[in-house]
Amino acid sequence: MDINFPLVLIILVTVSGIFLLLSKLLVSKRNSINATSKLFEYIGSFFPVLLFVFILRSFLFEPFQIPSGSMIPTLKIGDYILVNKFSYGLRFPVSRFKFIDISSPKRGDVMVFTPPHDKRYFIKRVIGLPGDEIKIKSNILYVNGEKIRYSPLYENLQDSNFVIEKEHLKGVDHLIQRRKVPSRLGKNYTINVPLGHYFMVGDNRDNSSDSRVWGAVPERNIVGKAILTWMHWESFSDIPDFSNAGKIQ
């Protein structure tokens, strides 16, 4: 079951704030501390911490763990990342209404969002901006008619059907993985990105459920920009690994 954590956090902040206020009112009214006021004070003591977490998580930064391999080789299953929540503007939690506009996503950004068909958070790379024409033919990307250049690097050592390449996405160089023989997702695809939408694709081009499957992402569904990897920890039986911590390219 997916939990709406922003909503839960708002409820906790509100409830703890109410109990903190009630505890102060009880003490001032009776000039004494009884069991009820002690209970209210205890619950209310969580308010400052919850308020700090709420502000930090809702408007500044939020950690996420990568659950799938759709962004290999850039991000691996078990990577812990930090997402900048204000780089594309400040939004109210839950409703996601943008009340301060700061900037817009750029081609090549790695972005967290909710897709049109799902309430869960996804992470992919921004390939198409509003108004772009995107074509994918035989796993080669074309943006507004311009063929994107690739630099072959090496075969995937665990699966020789895949190669790792560097994609030169109009000034943003990053790694991708793709099949030598394109799968259904990479054979032939064309879209004109609607205004107010972004075309999102995983770096693991033949193993990614993305905009090629469920369409472009509305601007209102944006959560934030993924800026760095700070830890890899796939399971509790493993030792946390900080060796690949750094900026996300």
The pLDDT of residue 49 = 92
Q: Using CA atoms, how far apart are residues 125 and 105, in angstroms rounded to an integer?
A: 10
Q: At what angle do helices 47-55 and 5-30 cross, to 10 degrees?
A: 150
Q: Which tens digit of pLDDT belongs to each residue from 2-22? A: 567 788 888 998 999 888 888
Q: Is pLDDT above 90 for 193? A: yes
Annotated catalytic residue, options 37, 70, 87, 211: 70
Annotated catalytic residue, options 23, 124, 211, 225: 124
Q: Which tens digit of pLDDT belongs to each residue from 51-90? A: 999 998 889 999 999 999 999 999 999 999 999 999 999 9
Residue 98 designated active-site: no
pTM of the model: 0.85
Residue 147 designated active-site: no
Q: Where are the domains of the chain?
A: 5-45, 61-247
Which CATH code of 1.10.150.20, 3.10.20.740, 2.10.109.10, 3.20.20.140 fits the domain covering 61-247? Answer: 2.10.109.10
